[in-house]
Amino acid sequence: MPYQSISDPAAAALGSSLLNRLPFVSKRWPVQSFSSAGLTTLVVLIAALVLLPLGSLLLSWQDVQWDVWKHLFETQLGGLIWNTLVLVFGVAAGVTVLGTALAALISLCDFPGRRWLEWALMLPFAIPAYVLAFVYLGVFDFSGPLQSWMRTNIDGFTWVDIRSPLGVITVLVLVFYPYVYMLARGAFQGQGRSLYEASRLLGMSAQRTFWRVTLPVARPAIIGGAILAVMETLADFGTVSVFNYDTFTTAIYKSWFGFFNLKAAAQLASLLLAFIVMILILEKQLKGRVGQSERQRVMPRHQLQGMNKWFATGFCSVVFVLAFLLPVVQLGWWIYSTSLSDLNARYMRLVTNTLLLAGLAAIATVAAASVLVLAKRFQPGRLSSWSEQIGSLGYAMPGALLAVAVMMLFGFLDNHVITTVQTWLGLQAKPLLLGSVFALVLAYLIRFLAVALKPVTAAFDRVRPTMHEAARILGHSPLSVSRRVYIPMVMPGLLTAMLLVFVDVLKEMPATLLMRPFGWDTLAVRIFEMTAEAEWERAALPAMSLILVGMIPVIALIRRSRVG
């Protein structure tokens, strides 16, 4: 029997009908090959791996570091809170306005260049925020080529200080606006024609229809994108470090490596966690529940005329140039000017370490996501549902917070469990978990488990119970069913999930910087080291490497999201 017949609807229906008449066959998913107890154990373990590090943050308050807190109260704490709030509200406002404006122009209007700008405006997704930060400092700082030329050629030119809160906010807005742009664009295009026509029949102009109908319906998507941008802002370490702009993430790093006080870093991280919880609560209050209308009839695009169409083209093009084209061209120039002098054996070790860590994290994360999805499918109930929700919490935790939480947990285990066991066995007591690859991969797993869950869920949803039943009726063994049905249908989704996690791990800086084992420098760490010394040219090669790899999932996203 050819393979195609296994997924044939008629064969599936026949198999299901025959199996329903057999008393010894379960009417649920045929999962005899899965151990119920083993699957439950894995689900509980994954949920515990996500929750235990957070518990270690709370336990850190049992020993309050009064000396450190006194120093912070007297010197920095007020400034840290103020800087973090300014950054959060500035980025939230910036990405909301810019992302919504771009999405509205692309989705609702027609103007020259709209089709290529529709996908070009997603490309900044591929650029890590800390890469755009050091490029902008290299170009626009006081000693940069732009201001140097202006001082030489323009009389009375006044120095513009890019090392300011506005400069940090601008960089983060240019990197994170695609979150709002992508979601708002989908919301605008998904509203359909009926709302627009009903509003016009009631006498509203096109402009009033946008403000009173189109924009409110898209509000949940816009707020969702803005919240994602705020989460990334709170998680950012590289950008604020490059700009010397102190926030909670930089304070965590300084407490750890400056004061050598892990407990103080954990207590600061728990305050950052409180920020995140408040933002998530605010999101639920703001988003509300606004339904989407049908998509059978696409919203008509307004044909811009005269100067308006060229203004729209120019506005979108300027954003694309500032957010993507400028940094890529500048990095290319720096690489050319250094004649690839850093392309040596050390660079290849950086690439090897980066790819190895990202590969291990991708495999472990997708495996954990698959367990959660299988548990929800084969053993539906509160345990599997809650475990999946707990697994999704990790994406809301910044890398610096997770690094401190995991290290607190592993430090306790090393000091109180492993050392005791080693002493009993007469072995030399030494830490096994702190500073290990396992600790770093665990932090990646917790951070990016939510990224893998969606494509893994979609992959397993493609396999229907009737397909398995039909294959068994046609005489295939469980191994044959797995090889000829499950693996071909699930593997594309699993590979997509692995690719997404792989790229996110490549760009992750805070967790890698804080937790990397000795000698395990990566491309992101190399960028941090070079930018800390203002050696922009030497940071260009690893930065361009990350951008090129990061463009792979962005291009896939663009291809899937093309509409009209």
Cα-Cα-Cα-Cα dihedral sign, residues 341, 345, 348, 354: negative
Residues 6+ apart with CB under 8 A from 322: 174
pTM of the predicted model, to two decimals? 0.78
The closest of 286, 260, 295, 250 to 92, measured between CA atoms, is 286
Could you give the CA distance from residue 456 to residue 477 in angstroms, rounded to a whole number? 25
Regarding whether 402 and 367 lie in a shared domain, the answer is yes
Q: Phi first, then psi: what are they for 303, rounded to 5°?
A: -80, 110
Q: Can you give the pLDDT at residue 422? A: 63
What's the domain count of the chain? 2
Could you give the CA distance from residue 83 to residue 320 in angstroms, rounded to a whole number? 28
- Degrees, nearest 5: CA angle 456-461-463: 110
Could you give the CA distance from residue 180 to residue 166 in angstroms, rounded to a whole number? 20
Cα-Cα-Cα-Cα dihedral sign, residues 281, 287, 288, 291: negative
Could you give the CA distance from residue 51 to residue 539 in angstroms, rounded to a whole number? 36
Regarding whether 126 and 99 lie in a shared domain, the answer is yes
| 91 belongs to a structural domain | yes
Q: Phi first, then psi: what are they for 449, rounded to 5°?
A: -60, -40
Regarding whether 297 and 418 lie in a shared domain, the answer is no
Q: Can you give the pLDDT at residue 170? A: 94
pLDDT in tens, 417-441: 766 766 676 666 566 777 788 888 9
Mean pLDDT confidence for 382-391 = 78
Regarding whether 173 and 211 lie in a shared domain, the answer is yes
| 381 belongs to a structural domain | yes
| 70 belongs to a structural domain | no
| 549 belongs to a structural domain | no
Regarding whether 440 and 507 lie in a shared domain, the answer is yes
Q: Can you give the pLDDT at residue 1? A: 37
- Please report, for the domain that includes residue 466, its CATH number: 1.10.3720.10
Query: What average pLDDT is seen over the chain?
Result: 79
Q: Where are the alpha helices (DSSP H) in 1-76?
A: 9-20, 36-59, 66-75
Residue range(s) defining the domain that contains residue 501: 35-59+339-532
Residues 6+ apart with CB under 8 A from 527: 130, 131, 134, 238, 509, 539, 542, 543, 546
Residues 6+ apart with CB under 8 A from 26: 32
Regarding whether 203 and 308 lie in a shared domain, the answer is yes
Regarding whether 136 and 96 lie in a shared domain, the answer is yes
Q: Two tokens at 147?
A: 């201001």
Q: Can you give the pLDDT at residue 564? A: 45
| 379 belongs to a structural domain | yes
pLDDT in tens, 453-485: 888 888 887 777 677 667 667 766 666 666 677
Q: Are 477 and 33 in contact (CB under 8 A)?
A: no
pLDDT in tens, 209-225: 777 777 787 888 888 88
Regarding whether 496 and 387 lie in a shared domain, the answer is yes
pLDDT in tens, 151-189: 778 877 777 778 889 999 999 999 999 989 988 888 887
Cα-Cα-Cα-Cα dihedral sign, residues 141, 147, 148, 149: positive
Regarding whether 395 and 327 lie in a shared domain, the answer is no
pLDDT band at 300 (very low <50, low <70, confident <90, very high): low
| Owner of token pair 């703001």 | 286
Secondary structure, 3-state, 288-318: CCCCCCCCCCCCCCEECCHHHHHHHHHHHHH
Which of 98-102, 181-185, 410-414, 464-468 is predicted with the least confidence, judged by mean pLDDT? 464-468
Q: What is the DSSP string of 439-450?
A: HHHHHHHHHHHH
Could you give the CA distance from residue 68 to residue 75 in angstroms, rounded to a whole number? 11
Regarding whether 440 and 358 lie in a shared domain, the answer is yes
Regarding whether 333 and 421 lie in a shared domain, the answer is no
Return the higher-pLDDT residue of 36 and 416: 416
pLDDT in tens, 315-372: 999 999 999 999 999 999 999 888 777 788 888 888 888 999 999 999 999 999 888 8
pLDDT in tens, 120-163: 998 998 899 999 999 999 888 877 788 878 877 887 777 777 88
| 168 belongs to a structural domain | yes
The closest of 179, 162, 180 to 171, measured between CA atoms, is 162
| 123 belongs to a structural domain | yes
Q: Is 17 a residue whose pLDDT tops 70?
A: no
Regarding whether 435 and 313 lie in a shared domain, the answer is no
| Owner of token pair 């488990």 | 449
Identify the top-confidence range among 73-82, 240-249, 319-328, 528-537: 319-328
| 150 belongs to a structural domain | yes
